[in-house]
Amino acid sequence: MSIWFITGSSRGFGRSLVRAALDAGHQVVATARRPETLSEFGDQVLPVALDVTDPQAVRAALAAGVERFGRIDVVVNNAGYANVAPIETGDEADFRTQFETNFWGVYHVSRAAIPQLRAQGGGTIVQFSSIGGRVGGSPGIASYQAAKFAVDGFSRVLAAETAPFGVRVMVVEPSGFATDWAGASMTVHDIPAEYDATIGLMQRRVRANDAGAAGDPDRAAEIIVRAAGREHPPSHLPLGVNAVEMARAYSEHQLDEGAAWAEVGRSADFTEPYPAPHPVEEPTSKSG
């Protein structure tokens, strides 16, 4: 049995993770801005009010979990949301506010958890990113995806620094799942006509699709619980068909591009031959 600390537990992935952890026989510290929304779990969980952008509240929430259960084995940074707006016309304050939750919340919780995990000889930190945090380029959600790229970079350093303490770090990269991420949790700001072919198209095709997302959050939660319990969990875990295929395609493209530009890149060093020939540029096809 392990003790789980899960942020953003009131809905979506967080709620599914609470259920999956309980079903697997674990105990849970479930945090939410409004802990009364966790009443369905009764005394099976320790509900704690938490705004992850408040470092003092984060430390207090972790301390409450340790006081109740004696330790924290798995820390899940799940809290996050996205709003839609172009970079050009979107509100800067909204961009920053999203980043406060999506990146700085992860920073605050991870940083506060390290002393406890180190003192007890290890544990696991699960960071919720997105497949967009690996491949990027989704029009309209620049703040969200920038934060997820930051979470990935932060988590790689976190893993390197804490591995000697027995701490494992796993970054989860979902594609589209049937949560309210693109529903009640998302505000869609004005999309100017100039961005209809990019942000507008993405909004109609993906975020406002009546067919719904393909991913089952309950299945994903069970997968995460099982993976987090391994001695060697994956450093990155894409979830969903689209996530898996996009990750593979992106990695293959990176390998191809890296090979094509390898000699040019090497030639920047003093000891290497210079100049190196650039790859042959493919002509751009033009219709009409």
On whether the CB atoms of residues 182 and 140 are closer than 8 A, the answer is no
The two structure tokens encoding residue 96:
């920053």
| CA R_g for the chain | 21
Architecture of domain 3-239: 3-Layer(aba) Sandwich (3.40)
On whether the CB atoms of residues 218 and 188 are closer than 8 A, the answer is no
- What pLDDT, on the 0 to 100 scale, is given for residue 285? 66
Say how far apart CA 226 and CA 222 lie, in whole Å: 6
pLDDT in tens, the chain (288 residues): 999 999 999 888 999 999 999 999 999 999 998 999 898 898 889 999 999 999 999 999 999 999 999 999 999 999 988 999 999 999 999 999 999 999 999 999 999 999 999 999 999 999 999 999 999 989 999 999 999 999 999 999 999 999 999 999 999 999 988 776 555 667 888 899 999 999 998 887 765 565 566 889 999 999 999 999 999 999 999 999 999 999 999 999 999 999 999 999 999 999 999 999 999 998 876 654
Per-residue exposure over 76-94, b if at least 16 CB sit within 10 Å of its own CB, e if not: bbbbbbbbbbbeeebeeee
Say how far apart CA 6 and CA 237 lie, in whole Å: 18
Following DSSP, what letter does each residue of 72-119 receive, concatenated?
A: --EEEE------B--TTTS-HHHHHHHHIIIIIHHHHHHHHHHHHHHH
> Rounded to an integer, what is the distance from CA 193 to the centroid of its chain?
31
Say how far apart CA 54 and CA 101 lie, in whole Å: 10
On whether the CB atoms of residues 53 and 30 are closer than 8 A, the answer is no
- What pLDDT, on the 0 to 100 scale, is given for residue 145? 96
Say how far apart CA 174 and CA 78 lie, in whole Å: 12
Distances in Å between the Cα of 159 and the Cα atoms of 11, 163, 224, 232 are: 28, 6, 18, 12
Q: Give me the active site residues, please.
A: 129, 144, 148
